[in-house]
Amino acid sequence: HSHSLLSNTDPKAEGPYPTMVDNPDGYKVPVVQAASYSKYLGEFKVVFDDNGVVKQASGDPIYLDKSITPDPAVLARIKELGAPIEALKNQEVAETTKAIDGSRENCRTRECEMGNLVSDAVLDRVKDQGVEIVITNGGGLRASIDQGTVTMGEVLNVLPFQNTVATFQISGKDLIAGLENGLSQIEDGAGRFPQVAGLKYSFDKSAAPNAGRVKSVEVMQGGAWTPINPDKDYLVATNNYVRQGGDGYKVFADKAKNAYDYGPGLEQVVADYLSAHRPYTPKLDGRITEITAAAAAEPAQEPAKPAEAAPAPAEPAKPAETAPAATA
């Protein structure tokens, strides 16, 4: 989903509601979307024939502004059911020495503090299983955390999807292909951007997508950074969404061996890690580096040849005139 608004009445909408899309079997499929974060309620009416084919589709999103009166009975029931959830959200789990940046613009384009926290937390949880590498999709990080006391509610704001830790084995070659996918839509700020732990890589986004944006990959082994071996299998952790092919990581779904997608909840892993490292200090350590096209293609320089001796001038050279000073 893109969080875009489809509407027949809003001039800012990206298309009609519904938008009819061609199905490979030759019929139209109505697609509806009501923006994000419950700003709208989508009203959609559809009529099918006896074969399940759509014959009629209509509707429009309803903007939930103050003119909409909430139902008192529903509000009371929500409050009742939400009481234990609110108690959980108010639990204090740790402290931070400064704010942890989980902004969309950073976590989907470069190394970010929240990406490092989540990836490090997962690696810490599963390293005793032999896991060496963690990949976290930047789009799975939905908020920053303020300086000071950290509540479980703040952790849930960062990780609201109830994803679980997933582990699998994969070759270095296919892992690099996964990184290429993660970098393939960086210009669009797509959520597939790979935040990492136990791994460092450099990339050049001027290269074509899935065609060599990854320039170097190193794995932490024996306390030292070692170039990745394309033919070696590595034990990797991510979340179940990415492992099952979400955000374009189809190579993880197709090439993973010994996959297990039912580890602990990602939000609890991060809360436990923060608690164990309180007060937590966010960090950037250079595990992800963007390089320019010129730097990526720069050849090794040959030693300069010695200059040939100039013939002796017939007359002594006149001194050059002083150039006028440049002005700003």
- Residue-wise pLDDT for 98-120, tens only, equals 999 999 999 999 999 999 999 99
3 pLDDT band, cuts 50/70/90, is confident
Instruction: Look at residue 134 and tell me if it is in a domain.
Output: yes
Instruction: Tell how strand 257-260 and strand 165-171 pair up.
Output: antiparallel
Same domain flag for 133 and 268: yes
Q: Where are the beta strands (DSSP E) in the chain?
A: 19-22, 28-31, 40-48, 54-63, 92-96, 133-137, 148-151, 165-171, 194-197, 199-203, 214-221, 224-227, 233-239, 257-260, 288-290
Same domain flag for 166 and 248: yes
The reported pLDDT for the residue numbered 201 is: 99
Instruction: Look at residue 212 and tell me if it is in a domain.
Output: yes
Same domain flag for 262 and 149: yes
Same domain flag for 277 and 140: yes
Same domain flag for 112 and 233: yes
Domain count, the chain: 2
The reported pLDDT for the residue numbered 293 is: 65
Instruction: Look at residue 308 and tell me if it is in a domain.
Output: no
Read off the CATH number of the domain in which 173 is found. Answer: 3.90.780.10
Q: Would you call 189 exposed, middle or buried from its count of C-beta atoms within 10 A (0-12, 13-18, 19+)? A: middle
Q: Are 261 and 243 in contact (CB under 8 A)?
A: yes
Q: Would you call 181 exposed, middle or buried from its count of C-beta atoms within 10 A (0-12, 13-18, 19+)? A: buried
Return all residues near 317 (Cβ < 8 A) that are at least 6 apart: none
Instruction: Look at residue 57 and tell me if it is in a domain.
Output: yes
Instruction: Look at residue 88 and tell me if it is in a domain.
Output: no
pTM equals 0.79
Instruction: Look at residue 303 and tell me if it is in a domain.
Output: no
- What's the rounded Cα separation, in Å, for the pair 36 and 1? 10
Same domain flag for 154 and 36: no
Last residue of a domain, one of 53, 68, 83: 68
Task: Show the domain range for 35.
Answer: 1-68
Same domain flag for 28 and 112: no
Same domain flag for 26 and 152: no
The reported pLDDT for the residue numbered 229 is: 98
Same domain flag for 129 and 223: yes
Instruction: For residue range 156-172, list pLDDT tens digits in order.
Output: 999 999 999 999 999 99
Same domain flag for 144 and 256: yes
Same domain flag for 273 and 229: yes
The answer to whether residue 311 scores a pLDDT higher than 60 is no
Instruction: For residue range 30-80, list pLDDT tens digits in order.
Output: 999 999 889 999 999 999 999 888 999 999 999 999 999 999 999 999 999
Same domain flag for 43 and 185: no
Instruction: Look at residue 322 and tell me if it is in a domain.
Output: no
Return all residues near 293 (Cβ < 8 A) that are at least 6 apart: 204, 206, 207
Instruction: Look at residue 81 and tell me if it is in a domain.
Output: no
